[in-house]
Chain A
Amino acid sequence: MRYVIIGAGTAGLEAARTIRKEDGSAGITVISADTYVHSRCMLHKYIAGERDEEQLDFTEENFWDKFDINWMKGVKVCAVRPEEKVIVLETGEKVSYDRLLLANGADSFIPPVGELRRASNVFGLRNLSDAQAIVKEAGHAEQVLVIGSGLVGLDAAYGLLERGKKITIVEMAPQILPVQLDAHAAGAYQKLFEDAGVRFILGRKASEAVCGSDGKIHKVTLDNGEEIPCDLVIVAAGVRPSSAYLEGSGIACERGVTVDTHMQTNVPHIYAAGDITGLSGIWPNATDQGRVAGKNICGITEMYTDTYAAKNTINFFGLVTLCVGRIREEEGDQILIKEDRSQYKRAILREGKIEGILLQGDISNSGTWQYLIKNKTDISSIQKDIFSISYADFYHIDETGRYQWTGTGKM
């Protein structure tokens, strides 16, 4: 059986690992545009000069040999032809498959503002190749404009601060990290970045950007007319599943490649996992999708059930935050807040259930919250300060010593 996996991120490689475990004699090929296996969550460490390409690798030592996987790197796929069971590479070469997994992720979305898409000094931050291009351009840039203050925008800013650049961040929302945090917790990060020299412009959008004769953007105009001089622009305005090459293949796509609970597409023998599905942009979910796809590809029925994706951890300048579930207050919510000089905790409760938690400063032993939120566990009968609820309140051990769930919480 010949298995072909497009993409060398966590979804693709977890699938490869899973397939190898299930099928010792399988021929497994991974094809990726990337030339280094790298963790996208660490690209800011590359920009900062804290890690080199090899130190971004997240696989075990000798991964390719150990699992006997053939890796075609630096190769782009331009079409899939299910009727012939082949994929077509940019070079024109064809690779045949018996089972195919699409796990090539997503692309940065550059909004159609002015000539952002045309300019040679505008970058997203998604792949190592982006980070490499940013470092190169930063070599002769002083002023950097970052559009968007989500995790990617702040990652870019963090990395470039280490290179001594003057950074301005423009954000549409009235606060930074608007998807993850409330205004209070966001303010703590804003202050840390400001103390490091970053200027934030909140509640504003880029509305015009014109290329100079050198093909670069030297200033961006905001919707209030303010002009921001810059010689490097990072656009951190989200990502889109990287599925353009599937056009005409018959593989159904909506936001991303459409899959069922077995990570199978509408076309027989073709599966998809990770960010290309548009299901979630969260690392552990992509890993799990890869594992589930790998099992099903080998004919072992397994479902992708742990789909919960409203979860994040943040760590800048040693200030750590965990946020799971809903962050915005809605009518009828009960909001509980606890704060001291080293931490801020906020819980959103509704009808005895916890719908959102935000912990900043101290996130010790906080993993249980994700479980309680995603399983809509009723915690109303636990007579405790909410922030001291822990796994102890649901404690049960089976005969092999594994923890199980029981107690007052109704699952």
Chain B
Amino acid sequence: MKRIMIDYEKCDGCKNCSAACMQAHRKTEGTIYDLDLTDPENESRNFILKDQGGNYRPLFCRHCTEPECVKSCMSGALKKDPESGHVFYDENRCGSCFMCVMNCPFGVLKPDRVTKSKVIKCDFCVNAGGEPSCVSSCPKKAIFVEEVQE
């Protein structure tokens, strides 16, 4: 499967990846130049965390081999696609229980900020075609897509 690889030592915390993710998933038309960063509906699916030493630690969904989020999903909204290996989320099926948020050991998932009824989850930009937006936007090549064996 294709996975977003992380060379975290190259990350300088610019958060272009987060802005690109917000842009890729915005509901309104437009470009990154008119993306409203303060609109709570615009949320990023990736996060640049810091450890206690102040080092940047990029947090991106791994689309795990045995995804804990899928195991915990009681509605069938989260499924691992047998072909691509990616874990996809169907918000129409979601029961908004958020057991997936609790069960992701890396803390990648979160409820949406506005309605608290959906899960904010990486979709590998499948609808945008080609490379995930975060990867195309990284100026340091700290994230890149690679084919990995599961």
Contacts and interface: CB of A to CB of B under 8 A. Distances in A.
B62 A401 contact: yes
Interface size class of A (residues with CB under 8 A): 35 or more
A18 to B, nearest CB: 11
A236 to B, nearest CB: 17
B110 A322 contact: no
A401 B52 contact: no
A79 B22 CA distance: 56
A345 interface: no
B139 interface: no
Interface in A281-316: 283-284, 287-288, 291, 311-313, 315
A283 B74 contact: yes
Interface in B52-91: 52, 55, 57, 59, 62, 64-65, 68, 71-76, 79
Interface in A344-396: 363-368, 370-371, 382-384, 390-393, 395
Given A58-B73, A318-B116, A363 B108 contact: no
A371 B79 CA distance: 22
Interface in B86-134: 93, 95-99, 101-111, 115-117
Contacts, number: 139
The secondary-structure label for the interface of chain A is mixed
A320 B116 contact: yes
Contact of A315 (B71, B74, B98): B98
Interface of A: 10, 39-42, 45, 55, 57-60, 283-284, 287-288, 291, 311-313, 315, 318-320, 322, 324, 363-368, 370-371, 382-384, 390-393, 395, 397, 400-403, 407-408
A41 B115 CA distance: 20
16 contacts: A10-B74, A39-B95, A41-B75, A41-B97, A57-B76, A284-B68, A284-B99, A318-B116, A366-B107, A367-B103, A367-B108, A395-B57, A400-B148, A401-B146, A403-B62, A403-B105
Interface in B28-46: none
